Structure 1
Amino acid sequence: MKVLRHKSSIAFLLFFALLYPAKAHPSVELRAERLGTEGITIDGRLTEPAWKRAPIATGFIQREPYPGEPATEKTTVMVLYDEENLYIGAILYDREPHKIIADEMRRDGRLYRNDTFAVLIDTYHDHRNGYFFETNPLGARLDAVVFDEGREVNTDWDGVWYVASHITEEGWQVEMKIPFSTLRFDSRKTSTWGLQLRRIIRRKNEEVYWAALPLDASMWRLSLAGHLTGLEGIRQGRNIELKPYILTGIERAPSGGSDTTEVTKDMGIDVKYAITPHLTLDLTANTDFAQVEADELSINITRFPLFFPEKREFFLEGSGFFQFGLRAKVQPFFSRRIGLSGGKEIPILAGAKLTGKVGDYGIGLLNIETKETSSVAQTNYTVIRLKKDILERSRVGIIAINKEPQDGSFNRTIGADTRLVFMDYMYITSFVVKTYTKGVSGNDTAGYLKFMWYDPRMLLSLSYLDVAENFNPEVGFVRRTDIKETTLYSHLFIRPKGSIVREYSPYVLLKYIADQKDQLVGRNQNIGFSVTLHSGDSLDVAFKKEFDRLDYDFEIRPSIVIPEGGYNNPSVYVAISTDDRRTLSGTVVVERGDYYGGKRTSYSGSFNIVPARYLKIAPRFTREDVSLPAGSFRANLLTTTVEYTITTRAFLNALLQWNDDLDQRSFNIRFNYEYRPNSDIYIVYNERHYTDTELVDRVLLLKLTYLFTL
């Protein structure tokens, strides 16, 4: 195997493993107090007597900006429970309450700009997976499901829970109510759960934890969480959820000189059934995704496909159970291949998904049937994903995928993967995958092996990726085939004392890419240096020396062709970012250098503007200026997101885009009102034009959902 050529680098990593033995991490513990007959009113004021007699968690420790130091402001947290609900109360003291930062009310909004309080609960107590709940002084809600210590964090999961916050003369207070029916756990083993608590004091850029975390670990490192004890006699309650929808709308689509207007009417249903405390079955019929935000447009000046993330709720929930491979590079399963083709929606007739854990095993089963269209046959998709936890933080797994159109063709994928963690800092990741396509045989595998050392002072990794020429996972995403790619990456973290600088970070990236005949097709030699200040501002400078070999003429734009051959493309990259707690903040990136025998200058910027407390404007731009021997071109993309939050349960969002490279501009405007927990009213308006003002389509939709629990 080619990676054996790098024995010395692997030995270097193993040498570090011997120098850094595993550390014993001190554990903290909090006992939950059971409620009697009294109730708790969720109003953000901890006035009930039960809060005063409950044990408290305090003594939070900084992770940023001074790791290991005590928090500069006191925090106390209490936990109560009854048979059906978990209650969490927090008093977040602040000597300067008038400086508390809070301007976000939208669910799953940008809470990172605010003072926040967050809870992470490991209900399985497997030190790997958990439920995340976060709020701010305005009572905004952000929640997520965490898989595999953060390898997958699904922020699109929306659980049923309640929260209220209140600013006082001493700081602010929080009350949370989390129904046990929102969580998955084993009611026979509920005396102890994993628990992590976090507070962010935004004006100080201070991040503090109840269970102390080192710099190389994020909040998702559940193996370092504390313990919540005393949970007895609780139950999950209702285990069936029905969520029907009705939809109506008008669509106008001029085509071929005619102008057609259609009235849309539809209905469907999603069902969630907790088969056991560990396994959840999701069913869907006549699935609709009308409320999903439109994809953001991009400029592509490469010969490889662009990656767009999944945004559809049915596929996002439980997605961590199906995660496999390298995101946006080699993914045997990519759910956007189901129900979408060429940017157009393929109706989903029905689907079923089973996810959860049974003992040490993680299970993901998916079956979807899509409708026949004029260009695509009716197709069945099946995905089976199994993972087994081994050792303390490691796992092994397998995946099997089948795509079966009714036209007689097929595509299948099988694979296995491992993730091994040793001595806190050493990670070994690998996978092997093979595809089966009708009419294709041989050269249809992919494999990956990575060694990584990651501690608070450095990151060092060595990886090898092999993707054969005929590797073809039709239900997956592959950026490039016919490659053997070896990558060495090193990154240091230097934290000076008594300086305005929080961290200096020099880094080096070396990459060698060959084809399956061992001929050089690409090479990267990048060296960079970044500086982050205590203010949150940062500067990143990199010098890139890249080589790319074209095996065929590449028409980068109409009538502009780059001839086959080898090209050296050195460039300089500069990025400047300002701290996003400001009224105006953002990042500007400039890259300039040689480009396939010519010159390229790339400009991009993303900004956050907060002109009023509940109004946010986020303009982003990209400009590519390319001059080649065969011709020159410029491509511009302007995207602006406007968000206005009316209450914590109602907001208006607009996505405005202009792309002269695709000759297109579009508008996506959405109003969302959650009139009861997880029951919503959506009003969606979409419009697309060619830049010469010609209308492509215009759609106005009204959608109503209602959640029933049985």
Structure 2
Amino acid sequence: MRYILLFVFIFQCTFGQQAAKVEKKIYTTKSLETLAPPIIDGLLTDSSWDIVDWTGDYIENLPDENTPPIEQTKFKIVYDKEFIYFAFRCYDKDPKEIVKRLSRRDGFEGDWIEINLDSHGDKRTSFSFSASVAGVKSDGFISDNGNSWEGNWNPIWYLKTNIDKEGWTAEIKIPLSQLKFGNDTDQVWGLQSTRRYFRTEERSVWQRIPLDAPGWVSEFGELHGLKNLVPQGQIEIQPFFTSKLKTYPREAGNPFRTGNDFKLNGGLDAKVGITNDLTLDLTINPDFGQVEADPAAIALDGFQIFFQEQRPFFVENKNIFNYNFADGQDNLFYSRRIGRNPQGYPKKANGTFIDFPDNTAILGAAKFSGKTKSGWSLGILESVTNKEFAKMDENGNRSKELVEPLTNYFVGRAQKDFNNKNSFIGGIITATNRNLESTELNFLHKDAYGAGVDFLHNWKNRKYYFASNFVASHVQGSTEAITATQQNITHLFQRVDAGHVSVNPNRTSLTGTGGKIEIGKASVGNWRYNGSINWRSPELELNDVGFLRQADEIRQYAVLSHQTLKPFGQFRRIDSRLEQFSGYDFEGNFNKMQYSLGSGASLKNNWNVNVLVIYNPVNYSNSVLQGGPRFRYSESLFNSIALNTDSRKKLRFNAAIYESQGKSNSFSYTEFSTGVTYQPINALTVSLNPNFAANKSRTQYVTQTSFNSESRYITADLNQRTMSASIRLDYSINPNLTIQYYGQPFISKGRYKDFNRVTNPTAKYYGDRMALFDAKQISFDASKNTYSVDEDINGTADYSIGNPDFSFVQFRSNLVLRWEYIPGSELFLVWSQGITGNANPREDLFMGLDSQILGRKPENIFLIKATYRFVL
């Protein structure tokens, strides 16, 4: 396959189809100068609009690219010293059928119009503003030439819409202080506009962008006529106030669990425009609580779980700080490390009550970021988190112990465009420095540093690309900390059969590297392909302020994809992808080979179907025995199918089935996911998404022990069942006043049987990999909840195994009223509820939910948060 893809690549480079030339459209705006600005009422009656011409001639983009749209659209643009104004006329032959669906901000429901502004002129990033006919605002920041969207960017801007006999109209006013641009006397911005015609799910655009184009922003038209713009000295100050009441079941005798806690808090966020390109964001005593709870999850493999960042301070300009260097979520900067849960835990005597902090307080943070007219993307982030103590009470004697040290986090990032914006080179530096004043925290790194260099080059009008990056890390600390790092699941230097790594208990530092090299075809015609290789050396360590799941790996990828460019038959579009990858460790062991074939189809009735098949003929794991020898998984086949009905309908459904099967029934995984969404009126949406998964494994890792000075790696037959359901309700009173509810009950139960010890971990047949304990060798002690193993059957227990059965139950919910009483200033009323418990594993799933959720008192949080944004 690798030779075939190489041949295809060479053939395309030599004889491949060339990109069709698409003429760039230009709109010339004018300054209002002494004229009164238009009143933003959606009516388009102001004489100030008469100084410029309409532009239109939109062309269909989806589903049938480069054909006339059902209805035409036109717009005008004017500006003054402080604002840029947009007027839209969206024609509609039947205005009564225009769909006015309300939603919360960034909802993208019903008919809408969108404007994109590449005010940097870098052909990679853009500001986006969308206006629905119902008056709902949606905004975001586009990066990576359209491949990345940051929806948590919420600038101040103004919108009004109106329906009349010709269709509908919209007027938009955007403060220039919310945009970033240079100080040239005569400026040229990238410009694009998109219209959604809801009834047929059609998208039409002002500047034609073929479906086989190399990206989005790079293909924009141009906005001319911007003369003598004065960069705005943006200064925004946003104080906030929170009032928080927490109620929970009172715990008799525990002075820290009295039944309720009350807390008042306040802080300040500020945004200062150093130049119109570069912004300084400051926050003092920030409130970084999340309105949306993280989804419940349980991991049996020991690896950390990646959660998305939702805090606005870290989300804004996230693209500048991002440094994803390999595959998956591996990144030099993972902002959720800042303000994480404390990592230490006090050693306590029986009868000691502990008050443990929920998270680490952020004393302050500053972020300097932006993009200059010369093509420099710059980002500097500095944050300090406070010391955190666990409070203890032992028979009335109070004490405290440090569980998180005072820590400083630093991230510096830079990229420079060149070659007419077709190439860039960049770098990143990260640093984590801790004040380890307590020996109890010697397991933490004292200092951790990361660095990287990345490069991208496009040629032949961005048809082909070459990308590469390189990263390096250096951590240092006590011998205890570095030994713990060598032994954690990311590294596992203690693996008994590894000849290239071993634990050195005297080391006080580790230095590692990683990176990626990729080349491919990104545009023109139906076909795309790329090949890449990435690596993470055994000593690479990023988890102080980055995210690294596993080190000691080299992967090779080959990808071939196909997309249709025109509707045909019953299909609007079909995208297909064939992928192959292989994996090795740094000792040269051939650990993985995987082939996958996936296809997604959008039908003319606006249903969507996705299918995926993955075949794993080779699959070894260096980590499953957590320090034990390399372990072989059986040959396996995974397949899935997912279906979504028309998202425009008042009643819509989705369903998916995922199934994986190991050879000889060594393991299996089956998951059923479904959902229903109902929108009885334009202002109300209700959805329910239940999920059920069954996981079975004949060789599930349990623990390790020793017998006669020999290591024993214990596995068992696992039968795991997981059930959850997410419930959402969105009610929009008006575009600025919304009520949202989210709830998720979750339960995962696992029962273990047929315990065994690993004897031949790389045997082809799973039954040859272990020796099953018979009834004479293993017995269960219910009083101690442990299994005793008499391996040599001499009447004396040789070792014991704690009962690994589990039944984890969790319920999380949020009810939020959000009111944007003036643009940029908000009031939140929040009621959060949570329950976490452990049910009896011998009970079925529904009984576990009943006993742990319905049968227990929850923890409640009632929160009032108010912000006010001063624009100076």
Aligning the two structures, in what range does the TM-score lie when normalised by the shorter sequence? over 0.9
Q: Which has the higher contact order (CA 8 A, sep 6+)?
A: 1
1:303-342 deviations in Å (ceiling 9; x for gaps): 5432211000111111111111157421111111111237
Counterparts of 1:666-705 in structure 2, within 5 Å, are 666-690=812-836, 691=849, 692-693=852-853, 694-695=856-857, 697-705=859-867
The offset of 1:32, in angstroms, is: 1.1
Residues 524/61 of structure 1: CA separation in 2 closer, same or farther (3 Å cut): same
Measured in 2, the distance between the counterparts of 1:118 and 1:243 equals 28
Deviates more, 1:275-284 or 1:471-480: 471-480
Task: Report what 1:81 is aligned to.
Answer: 79
- Following the alignment from structure 2 to structure 1, what is the Cα–Cα distance between the partners of residues 871 and 64? 46
Letter in 1 for 2:458: V
Shift of 1:154: 1.6
Contact residue 567 and residue 573 of structure 2 kept, 8 A: no
Kept in 1, the 8 Å contact 2:291–2:814? The answer is: no
Q: Distance in 1 between matches of 2:264 and 2:457?
A: 51
Using the alignment, how far apart are the partners of 2:623 and 2:179 within structure 1? Answer: 54
Q: Report the counterpart of residue 558 of structure 1 in structure 2.
A: none
State the alpha-carbon separation in 2 of the partners of residues 695 and 445 from structure 1. 49
Q: Aligned to 2:475, which of 413, 432, 437?
A: 437
AA paired with 2:447?
F
CA distance in 1, matches of 2:367, 2:147: 21
Cα 1:496–1:383, aligned 2, differ >3 Å: closer, same or farther? closer
Task: Read off the aligned partner of 1:426 and give its amino acid letter.
Answer: Y
- Whether contact under 8 Å (2:474, 2:511) holds in the other structure is no
Q: CA deviation at 1:520?
A: 2.3
Contact kept in structure 1, 2:185 and 2:228, CA below 8 Å = no
2:486 alignment counterpart: none
Pairwise CA distance, 1:256: 5.7
CA distance in 1, matches of 2:456, 2:630: 42
Q: Is the 8 A contact 1:443 1:468 kept in 2?
A: no
Counterpart of 2:680?
Answer: 611
Aligned with 2:474: secondary structure?
Answer: strand
Match of 1:549 in 2: 620
Give the aligned partner of residue 118 of structure 2.
122
Give me the whole-angstrom Cα distance separating, in 2, the residues matched to 1:329 and 1:203: 38
Output the CA distance in 1 between the equivalents of 2:208 and 2:302: 46
Q: How much has 1:253 moved relative to structure 2? A: 4.4
Cα offset, 1:242, TM superposition: 0.7
Q: Say whether 1:163 aligns with 2:159.
A: yes
Deviation sequence 1:94-146 (CA, Å, 0-9, x none): 1232332231342112x1x4221000011122222221100111111011122
CA contact (8 A) 1:307 1:328 kept: no
Q: 1:180 touches 1:235 (CA, 8 Å); kept in 2?
A: no
2:447 to 401, 404, 410: 410
1:388 and 1:510 map into 2 onto residues whose CA distance is: 33
Do 1:291 and 1:684's aligned partners in 2 also have CA atoms closer than 8 Å? Answer: no
Aligned equivalent of 2:26: 29
Which amino acid in 2 is paired with 1:482? Answer: D
**Does the alignment pair 1:451 with 2:524?**
no
Aligned position for 1:652? 739
Aligned match of 1:250 in 225, 236, 245? 245
Q: Does 1:640 align with 2:716?
A: no
Instruction: Work out whether 1:583 is the aligned partner of 2:650.
Output: yes
* Inter-partner Cα distance in structure 1 for 2:536 and 2:272: 39
Greater Cα shift, 249-258 or 576-585: 249-258
Cα separation, partners in 2 of 1:273 and 1:227, compared to 1, 3 Å: same
Task: Find the residue that maps to 2:633 and give its secondary structure.
Answer: strand
* Compared CA separation, residues 506 and 352, structure 1 to 2 (3 A): closer
TM-score by length of 2: 0.76
State the alpha-carbon separation in 2 of the partners of residues 256 and 238 from structure 1.
54
Q: How far 1:441 sits from its partner (Å)?
A: 5.0
Rate the CA distance shift 1:553–1:61 in 2: closer, same or farther, 3 A: closer
Determine the C-alpha separation between the residues in 2 that align with 1:152 and 1:193.
20
Distance 1:554 1:535 in 2: 49
Residues 504-523 of structure 1 deviation map (CA, whole Å, 9 limit, x = unaligned): 33431212112221212222
> Is 2:422 aligned against 1:422?
no
What is the identity, as a one-letter code, of the residue corresponding to 1:470?
E
Structure 1 gaps of 5+ residues are 556-560
CA distance in 2, matches of 1:294, 1:380: 26
Which range is displaced more, 587-596 or 431-440? Answer: 587-596
Are the equivalent residues in 2 in contact too, given 1:254–1:696 (CA < 8 A)? Answer: yes
The 8 Å contact of residues 587 and 607 in structure 1, kept in 2 or not, is answered as yes
2:710 aligned partner: none
Alignment of 1:185-196 (within 5 A): 185-196=181-192
In the alignment, the residues of structure 2 paired with residue 552 and residue 256 of structure 1 have an alpha-carbon distance, to the nearest angstrom, of 40
1:532 aligns with 2:570: no
Is 1:521 equivalent to 2:591 in the alignment? yes
Tell me how far apart the structure 2 counterparts of residues 496 and 131 of structure 1 sit (CA, whole Å): 29
3-state SS, counterpart of residue 297 of structure 2? coil
Deviations 1:369-419 (A, max 9, x none): 001113211100000001000223221100000000111711110111112
Instruction: Work out which of the residue numbers 205, 209, 216 in structure 1 matches 2:212.
Output: 216
CA contact (8 A) 2:63 2:566 kept: no
Cα distance between partner residues in 2 of 1:222 and 1:504: 23
2:269 maps to what in 1? 270
SS in 1 for 2:739: strand
Question: Aligned partners of 2:7 and 2:383: how far apart in 1?
Answer: 46
* Alignment-mate amino acid for residue 8 of structure 2: F
Work out whether 1:600 is the aligned partner of 2:669: yes
Q: Distance in 1 between matches of 2:150 and 2:632?
A: 43
Q: Does the 8 A contact of 1:672 with 1:683 survive in 2?
A: yes
Alpha-carbon contact 2:231-2:275 (below 8 Å) kept: no
1:232, CA displacement in angstroms?
2.1
Residue 382 of structure 2: which of 367, 383, 389 is its match? 367
Which amino acid in the other structure matches residue 651 of structure 2?
A: L
Query: In the aligned structure 2, how far is the partner of 1:493 from the partner of 1:398?
Result: 34
Equivalent-residue separation in structure 2 for 1:197 and 1:668 (angstroms): 36
Is 1:488 aligned to residue 502 of structure 2?
A: no
Instruction: Provide the residue aligned with 2:410 in structure 1.
Output: 382
CA apart distance, 1:582: 1.0
Tell me the distance in 1 between the aligned counterparts of 2:527 and 2:687.
34
Q: Deviations over 1:448-495 (max 9, x none)?
A: 112231334122121212112221112111232221111222221235
SS at match of 1:188: coil
Which residue identity is paired with 1:672?
A: R
Query: SS at 1:340's partner residue?
Result: coil
From the superposition, tell whether residues 415 and 78 of structure 1 become closer, same or farther in structure 2 (CA, over 3 Å). same
Query: Residue 140 of structure 2 contacts residue 152 of structure 2 at CA under 8 Å; is this kept in 1?
Result: yes
Aligned residue identity for 2:619:
D
Q: In structure 2, what is the Cα distance between the partners aligned to 1:443 and 1:518?
A: 20
- Would you say how many aligned residue pairs link Structure 1 and Structure 2? 698
SS at structure 2 position matched to 1:27: coil
1:201 to 192, 197, 204: 197
Q: Is the 8 A contact 2:475 2:511 kept in 1?
A: no
Task: Name the CA shift for 1:298/1:104 in 2 (closer, same or farther; >3 Å).
Answer: farther
Deviations 1:240-283 (A, max 9, x none): 11111111121134576443321111111011110111110111
Native 8 Å contact 1:291 1:670 kept in 2: no
Q: Which moved more, 1:42-51 or 1:129-138?
A: 42-51
CA distance in 2, matches of 1:223, 1:592: 40
| Runs of 5+ unmatched residues, structure 2 | 344-357, 390-402, 437-444, 477-481, 483-507, 699-716, 749-807, 837-848
Alignment check: 8 A CA contact 2:104 2:732 kept: yes
Residues 624 and 302 of structure 1, relative CA distance in 2, 3 Å threshold: farther
* Cα contact 1:350–1:368 (8 A) shared by 2: yes
Amino acid at match of 1:381: Y
The answer to whether the Cα contact below 8 Å between 2:85 and 2:172 also exists between their aligned partners in 1 is yes
Q: Which residue of 2 aligns with 1:570?
A: 637
Larger radius of gyration: 2
Check whether the contact 1:128–1:393 (CA below 8 A) recurs between aligned residues: no
1:365 aligned partner, one-letter code: I
Secondary structure at 2:227 match in 1: coil
Contact 1:362 1:386 (C-alpha < 8 Å) held by counterparts: yes
Alpha-carbon contact 2:233-2:274 (below 8 Å) kept: no
**3-state SS of paired residue (1:417):** strand
Are the counterparts in 1 of residues 620 and 630 from structure 2 also a CA contact under 8 Å? no
Tell me which amino acid in the other structure corresponds to 2:77.
Answer: V
Corresponding residue of 2:134: 138
The 1:177/1:601 distance shift into structure 2, 3 A limit, reads same
